[in-house]
Amino acid sequence: MSKLIQHMGEEWYELLKPIIETDYFNELGKKVIPGTFDTRTIYPSKENVFKAFKLCPVSDTKVVIIGDEPYYDGNATGLAFGNKDLLKVSTSLTNIFKEIENDIYDGFKLDQNPDLKRWAEQGVLLINTALTVEKDKPGSHKKYWNKFIKEVVTKISQTNPCVFMLWGDNASKYIKYIVKESNFILTSRGPTNENFLGSDRFSSCNEILEAMGYATIKW
């Protein structure tokens, strides 16, 4: 398990230990991480599966963004919506940037790095409803990760007051696992949907963070 602590970080490992130390999690690893003679291509690479947790420790987490699943074309980084290819930005992230530019910066076009690491380092946990996907097979791993993501959402909502931003129908299914009394929930359509634009979710998130006594996010 030392490698998992290295990839996930000690704080998340300790928080999620009740599920990590189960037969389910052991079987999950066999299903989503290719073995020596396994010819499947899985995204993101195994060292980046828990990158979102590593970059955003439990004690720093104040915003949780949940998307659908990693890019199945090889562009996944381990951070939901983050892009590996700096020259070919995905449609979803392009729309996210457009919304930020219009919502926060009044239409001013920003030069933004698509890896989204800067968000994670400010306390934004960027996860999907599945943390892995098989190449060119959308939806291939969602059923495997469901129980784990439930645990993540439940545990962090019990530990830190957070703003949960759930993007898309699959992400919205996790509302029932959030402790409502101490957290805020902002839902919207997925970023590839035209109704995502104009949702003003980024300014709303910052207003809530400010009211909670947190520093706002520099989107």
Of 61, 82, 81, the closest CA to residue 168 belongs to 81
Give the model confidence (pLDDT) of 124-147 as tens digits: 999 999 999 999 999 999 999 999
Q: Residue 140: which residues within 8 A CB-CB, separation 6 or more?
A: 72, 133, 134
Q: Is the dihedral of CA 124, 182, 95, 218 positive or negative?
A: negative
How many residues are present in the chain?
219
- Cis-peptide, bond into residue 114, ω within 30° of zero: no
Query: What is the predicted pLDDT for the residue at 1?
Result: 56
Kindly report the CA angle at 109 between 106 and 115, in degrees rounded to 5?
A: 115
Point out the residues of the chain with pLDDT beneath 70: 1
E strand or H helix that includes residue 125? strand 124-128
pLDDT for the residue 129: 98
**pLDDT in the model for residue 62:** 98
pTM of the model as a whole? 0.96
Give the helix/strand (H/E) hosting 156.
helix 142-159
Q: What is the dihedral of CA 74, 166, 54, 4, to 10 degrees?
A: -80
- Alpha-carbon span 68 to 80, nearest angstrom: 8
Tokens of 208: 């809530």
Output the pLDDT for position 6. 95
